[in-house]
Copies of this chain bind each other. A is one copy, B any other.
Amino acid sequence: MTEERVLQVVEARKGNLTEEVRAVAEAESADPAALMRAVAGGTAVVPRNRRRRLLSPRGIGGGLRTKVNANIGSSPDVADPDLELRKVAAAVEAGADAVMDLSIGGDIAGIRRRVLDACPVPVGTVPIYGAAAARAGTPGGIAAMTADELFEAVEAHGRDGVDFVTVHCGVTLAALERLRRGGRVLDVVSRGGAFLVAWMIAGGRENPLFADFGRLVEIAARHDMTLSLGDGMRPGCIADANDRAQFQELITLGELQAYALREGVQVMIEGPGHVPLHMVAENVRLQKEICRGAPFYVLGPVVTDVAPGHDHVAAAIGGAAAGAAGADFLCYVTPAEHLGLPGPDEVREGVIVTRLAAHAADIAKGIAGAADWDLAMARKRKARDWEGMLDLALDRRKARAIRGTSPPRDPGVCTMCGEYCAIRIVEEYLGRE
């Protein structure tokens, strides 16, 4: 690590308040010095690539609002760059705190650059997707990808200005051995994890993202790019939750996080996945203990496997519970999960519902000011101030649409109770005393 490069962690250690830390602290009404110490200690991150023009930086970690990520990206079947840009716009308009471009079809690099240009919040990617896709049609397939190609992909994403990258460093031969012995129902459901498992098995070799983790950290430091240590061993069904393969990976991620942090690189830890509700809190607490309070970025978790079409709700249940237990960053799930690639409407729905879960978690976590929003809404309800309520709604568009389909005769109430509005009756009678 060369000291002349500006690295958020190094500046924080020196006590230098960077522009990004200051902006995040201001947006959250947090103490800038406390946030700076959290960045120095690795319990919060402010992802921002040094090369990127990032309009709205976000902080992720202890003491901060729970953040929401929206995944967009092409697939081999659906590879329209304009569609992806529409999804970015839908996600940002709905209030996403970050967007991950998971493109794996069409002009992957071109889509990435357009997303980076268009997106005002931090952008994440998974560099192995492009590296693997480039080899997929060639002799030898994914297994023919070289370690250099993988690292060069990470470097290319850094040069493009990506703020954080998912790297599945914990998919090691040791974790694979736990997987083999464990007898999972669904083995590996992580796309990046699957590429690495295929590569490792085909060549009988260790994951380069683990074996040469120092090189990865060097690349990340060059761009001040945050590493999001991926959970390639995340459970793909609740029967596989909290098993030995998953925790073997988590132990590795904790060790790698400590190393990267010493080198001045910000790190998040990714988590499951499919987890039954009674295991969610213990999963979060264990991650926080093993990874010394590093920010925890969960995908869902979905609390049942049987809800395709409603997995955004299954994930909101798990995400709220995870956030309440200390998870810092919720990756959204859309109604299309397990069925197909989401479109812009599904992106919007996913962001809104995940923001609901994050907000519920923030109230439970005791994030300062979180419940003020609810109190303001309650006061509008007390006053039967319908315009005020609709303005304060998390999803103004949908709230207005529903109210509009069922307009009451008396504009001071709603069609559920009409003249028998409990709030109005009680106010009238209590007022008589």
Q: Is the beta-carbon distance between B304 and A359 smaller than 8 angstroms?
A: yes
- Each complex incorporates copies of this chain amounting to 2
The stretch among A147-155, A262-270, A402-410 that forms the contact with chain B is A402-410
CA–CA, A349 and B278, complex, Å: 25
Beyond A197-B430, A307-B356, whether A419 also contacts B340 by CB under 8 A is no
Q: Give the chain B neighbours of A185 by CB distance below 8 A.
A: 375, 378-379, 382
- Is B415's CB under 8 angstroms from A378's CB? no
A39 at the interface (CB under 8 A from B): no
C-beta contact mask, A390-433 vs B, less than 8 Å → 1, else 0? Answer: 10111100110111011011000011111110110111111011
Interface size range of chain A in the complex: 35 or more
**Chain B residue nearest to A340 in the complex (CB):** B406
Are B201 and A432 touching (Cβ within 8 A)? Answer: yes
A selection of 13 A-B contacts at a CB cut-off of 8 Å is A78-B415, A133-B420, A186-B378, A186-B381, A186-B423, A238-B374, A276-B363, A277-B321, A305-B374, A306-B373, A335-B402, A339-B399, A340-B402
5 tightest A-B CB contacts, nearest first:
A237-B378, A340-B406, A309-B398, A76-B418, A194-B422
Excluding A76-B419, A276-B371, 19 further A-B contacts by CB distance (< 8 Å) are A75-B420, A105-B418, A132-B420, A142-B425, A186-B382, A190-B422, A198-B425, A238-B363, A276-B364, A277-B320, A278-B363, A306-B393, A308-B399, A309-B394, A309-B401, A320-B321, A336-B406, A338-B414, A341-B414
Q: Residues of A at under 8 Å CB distance from B?
A: 75-78, 104-105, 129, 132-133, 136, 142, 180, 185-191, 193-195, 197-198, 201-202, 236-240, 276-278, 303-310, 313-314, 316-317, 320-321, 324, 335-341, 343, 352-353, 356-357, 359-361, 363-366, 371, 373-375, 377-379, 381-382, 389-390, 392-395, 398-399, 401-403, 405-406, 408-409, 414-420, 422-423, 425-430, 432-433
